Amino acid sequence: MAWLVTGGAGYIGSHVVRAFRAEGIGVVVVDDLSSGHEEFVPADVPFYRGTILDGDLLERVFREHTISGVVHVAGFKYAGVSVQRPLHTYEQNVTATAVLLAAMQEAGVDAIVFSSSAAVYGTPDVETVTETTPKSPESPYGESKLIGEWLLRDQGVATGLRHTSLRYFNVVGSGDPALRDTSPHNLFPLVFDALVDGRVPRINGDDYPTPDGTCVRDYIHVADLAVSHVAAAKRLDAGEPVEAVYNLGSGDGVSVGEIMSTVASVTGIAFTPEVGPRRPGDPARIVASGELAARDLDWKMRHTLDEMVGSAWEARQAAS
């Protein structure tokens, strides 16, 4: 028996794959490599290059392997870009999820852990977000993730699909120097690339209603995130109850300005960031409680901000 990890060649998905293997659980990976890297997939892990929009490919995967459940990480994950590319975002995140669920139903696979997002909350009017905080996404990306949750819910009613959705926040760090975030839109890669190229890193907006004017977020370590995906899968495998959604949050916020200061300290490269305009779709503050996930999914913050930055910087340097 194995778990299928969609997007398992990507930054988050590859850490999930390693977390499964650390628990002695087999994995299979499907990834179209639009943002992932084949070298992120261990050589002895079955790998299928292709999109989950391809129902025939998924049928083949389910036919060739005994799959007990799916961790669905694949998707188009850029909130700001989704404002300019709404149709692409919906195709990758909504249509593809529907195709995946149909293939699972056909194959009799009835368990899924879904990679959702804090973007479903938009700009919440509470100090700390909980799972019951009203959803008000402000980008096609956030909307597409909320629709994904609805698809799982409705399929659960219709077919008995066992499911949970993990809403997470800004994922950073590295659990293995061979794995790094290569997104052209995420903060850490942008900052590191600028430093390596001798440029000054940039902050997108310093006029938000926050203490230092920069966006405040939960920053969580990717390896901690991966552990909770496996914990959710194990609960589903064991027939144990799970909540429909969990926030994987720290309960504390860190501003982009604080991140910049920590990067300068950890790397030893002194700089004063440039300030540009806000990005469309970026809320001022999102900080969440992770209490439910701590109760059920072995969720905890095992890394300090310095360790998050340090591990990400080590992985970036290893790739140079």
Phi and psi, residue 223, nearest 5°: -70, -35
DSSP H/E element including 81: helix 79-84
Q: Do residues 67 and 149 share a domain?
A: yes
Residue 206 domain-assigned (yes or no): yes
On whether residue 101 sits in a domain, the answer given is: yes
Residue 9 sits in the same domain as residue 78: yes
Token output for 146 = 């909320």
pTM of the model: 0.94
Element (H, E) at 62: helix 55-64
Of 121, 141, 208, 246, catalytic: 141
Tell me the C-alpha distance between 29 and 210, whole Å: 40
Q: What is the pLDDT along the chain (320 residues), one digit of tens a residue?
A: 899 999 999 999 999 999 999 999 999 999 999 999 999 999 999 999 999 999 999 999 999 999 999 999 999 998 889 999 999 999 999 999 999 999 999 999 999 999 999 999 998 888 799 999 999 999 999 999 999 999 999 999 999 999 999 999 889 999 999 999 999 888 899 999 999 999 999 999 999 999 999 999 899 999 999 999 999 999 999 999 999 999 999 988 899 999 999 999 999 999 999 999 997 767 788 899 999 999 999 999 999 999 999 999 999 998 87
Total number of domains in the chain: 2
Same domain, 160 and 283: no
Residue 187 lies in a domain: yes
d(CA 124, CA 135): 8
Domain identity same for 184 and 271: yes
> CB–CB of 39/14 below 8 Å?
no
Annotated catalytic residue 141: yes
Whether residue 292 is contained in a domain is answered as no
Q: How far apart are CA 170 and CA 211, in angstroms?
A: 19
Give all strands (DSSP E) within 97-161, no chain letters: 111-117
Q: 270 with 317: CB under 8 angstroms?
A: no
Structure-token pair, residue 76: 């188009």
DSSP string computed for 170-226: EEE--SSTT-----SSSHHHHHHHHHHTTPPPEEE-S-SSSTTSS-EE-EEEHHHHH
Q: What is the CATH number of the domain that holds 90?
A: 3.40.50.720
Identify whether residues 96 and 161 lie together within a single domain.
yes
Residues 272, 160, single domain; the answer is no
Whether residue 85 sits in one domain with residue 111? yes
Contact 319, 243 (CB under 8 A): no
Statement to judge: residues 13 and 128 lie in one domain: yes
**Residue at 113 is within a domain:** yes
Residue 282: strand, helix, or coil: coil
Query: Are 139 and 233 members of one domain?
Result: yes
Asked if residue 296 belongs to a domain, the reply is: no
- 112 and 224 share one domain: yes
Domain that holds residue 154: 2-171+219-248
254 and 244, same domain (yes or no): no
153 and 167 together in one domain:
yes
Q: CATH number of the domain at 258, please.
A: 3.90.25.10
Alpha helices in the chain (DSSP H): 11-22, 55-64, 79-84, 86-90, 96-107, 140-159, 187-196, 222-237, 256-267, 291-296, 305-318
